[in-house]
Amino acid sequence: MMKYDICIIGSGAGAGPIAYELTKIGKKVLILEKGPIYSEKDFSKDEIAFVRRNIITPNLKDEYHVIEEFIDGSWQKFPTYETGWSFWNGNILGGSSNFMSGYFHRLKPNDFRLKTSYGEIKGANVVDWPVSYDDMEPYYTKVESEVGVSGKVTEYKHLEPRSKKEYAYSALEEHPIVKLFDKSCEELNFSSYKVPRAIISKPKDNRNACYYSNYCGSYPCTSGAKGSSRASLLVAALKTGNLSIKADSFVYKLDSDKAKVTKAYYFTKEGQRKEVEAKLFVLAAQAVESSRLLLNSKNEYFPNGLSNSSNELGKNMIFTGGGIGSGEFDESDLPKDELFTQGLFVNRELKDWYYTKDFKGGTVDFLLEHANPIRRANILKYDDNGNLLFGKALQDKLYKNFTTKRVLNFEVFTDWMPNDNCFVSVDEKYKDKYGIPVANIRIGANKQDVKVGNFLAKKAIKVLKQMGAKNIDVNISPLPSANLQAGGCRFGDDPKTSVLNKYCQSHDLKNLFVTDGSFMPTGGSVPHTWTIYANSFRVADYIKTIL
């Protein structure tokens, strides 16, 4: 059995920088990836395959989660094979980074000291980070060039300090509706924020530039333009000859003595049990699954779960709070040839209320509805009274919807307040096809999340009205987006109240690191991906000093 310098479990945003950096200095790295290896030649814009049938995630009848929701005064459990609510986000090489929309945001200085900035929040377990924005800034900058971030820096009141004036790649081409958005924001005295994207606007190494396919979010990128861990980092790491990848390898347990992790145990696609040894282990399986693995790895030294002397493992899970909204536009708002321009990006947000005087605010992102014609058509199959449409009535409704109007959506992102009722545990009653206890996810949201979400939604509605939108709709919900996961292994300076130290190294086991979003004590009011990438590059630099 070959022994590696580093064994990485997972291959997404938390894993890629570790493999990229350590293989370059000659370290032998093994990645154990739960899913298969796909590349650009395997990808397509097939809505049935990638969205309807979701071929890149496990069948929920075989591998599922259990969700706990507070209903009628008590917490009740629902296996996801009953509800269809999936917390799997891409079990292939590169993980969920293959399917992200690539909206990239740095956290801001006060995101690292939320408790200091705003004080205690009732019912929330908010703490300051053990690192600062200044610690992270060089690594945010590194992600811009290594992963590839395109955009134009927006000068506005909450702009975070930057060591470089511009992004590494020029902004992507924009849809004509941004002219109307910018004009409306100016009339309202709002800032029109230009969104940076982890999608390259010109070729880089083995990757081609974006070709504006109109199918981006939820789809893998067929050009390599999207900054997935696979395309931007792992391909280069493989070229060093120092990276090995074992695909279709589900890690179900880590073994340890009282001081270090000794082995990882995994199932192959054929169901064979295998094991691997390494000097150092990096866990980056996405937050829910990382907590699950450590909880299932309990032993005589750690009876409550591996690296859990603090009893904080799995606790203070965070997602992103907020919700969605939309408005319709037609030829009275924009000329038809402009309105129905396909493929180009809106790339606009509202961030004027990222901070307010009295509370932490958030972000509102605007985007045209996803192309997905099957999903759109399926939604339109009923009349206004809920009756199923057939024949010419259905045909006319579909034709009108697809040819006379466009829908501009908005997504609200707020800080998900960590709290005692949002955590991951395991329950021996619920096991997957391998006989391993699945993750039990209790989802409890703080009232603050919905309050801030509604505040931001009102700002978005003002913009849509100013733009002339019709049939404006909004839905702010306490339920999270399953694809944005963090927390569960929060980092901190005190081993009694945190699982990891400031380098994402286990307080209990010095050769164990956790580098997906699990380390985050708070998530900011944005998607987490850029921060996960940046932190992983930071941790890689530390690992270099101890190997």
Of 106-110, 149-153, 374-378, 404-408, least confident by mean pLDDT is 374-378
- Looking at the predicted structure, is the pLDDT value of residue 431 above 90? yes
| Short-list 223, 202, 257, 229, CA closest to 44 | 223
- For 237-271, write each residue's pLDDT tens digit: 999 999 999 999 999 999 999 999 999 999 999 99
Report the domain count for the chain: 1
Asked whether residue 2 carries a pLDDT value surpassing 80, the answer given is no
pLDDT mean over 407-433: 97
Distance CA 8, CA 284 (A): 7
**Domain span at 126:** 3-546
Query: Could you report the per-residue pLDDT of 324-350, keeping only the tens digit for each?
Result: 999 999 999 999 999 999 999 999 999
Stretch 202-213: mean pLDDT: 96
- Percentage with pLDDT > 70 across the chain: 99
Model confidence at 51: pLDDT above 90: no
Residue 227 to residue 139: CA distance in whole angstroms: 15
User: Which of 252, 279, 236, 290 minimizes the C-alpha distance to 30?
Assistant: 279
A 10 A CB-CB count for 2 gives 9
Q: What is the mean pLDDT of residues 463-490?
A: 95
CA distance 21 to 246: 19
Identify the H or E element spanning 470. strand 470-477
Q: For 355-369, how does the pLDDT look when each residue is reduced to its tens digit (9 = 90+)? A: 998 899 999 999 999
Query: 121: helix, coil or strand?
Result: coil
The candidate with the shortest Cα–Cα distance to 136, out of 255, 17, 300, is 17
pLDDT of residue 389: 94
Query: Would you list the DSSP string of 243-288?
Result: EEEE-S-EEEEEEE-SSSEEEEEEE-TT--EEEEEEEEEEE-S-HH
Q: For helices 177-188 and 447-467, give the axis angle rounded to 10 degrees.
A: 110
Structure tokens at 313: 């493992």
CATH number at residue 339: 3.50.50.60
Q: What per-residue string of b and e applies to 294-317 under the rule 16 or more CB within 10 Å gives b?
A: bbbbbeeebeebbbbbbebbbbbb
| pLDDT reported for residue 333 | 96
What is the band of 384 on the pLDDT scale with cuts at 50, 70, 90?
confident
Q: What is the pLDDT of residue 50?
A: 82
DSSP state letter for 356: -
Upper half-sphere CA count for residue 257 (Cβ side, 13 Å): 3
* pLDDT tens per residue, range 494-537: 999 999 999 999 999 999 999 999 999 999 999 999 999 999 99
At 69, list the tokens: 């929701």
- Torsion over CA: 485, 491, 494, 495 (sign): positive
pLDDT per position as a tens digit, 116-167 = 999 999 999 999 999 999 999 999 999 999 999 999 999 999 999 999 999 9
- pLDDT of residue 53 exceeding 80, the answer is no
Please report the beta strands in 294-436, taking only residues with DSSP state E, as ranges in sequence order.
320-329, 348-350, 362-368, 406-415, 422-431
Mean pLDDT of the 170-197 span: 98
Band of the pLDDT at 1, cuts 50, 70, 90? Answer: low
Q: What is the pLDDT of residues 224-240, one digit of tens each?
A: 999 999 999 999 999 99
At 310, which amino acid appears? S
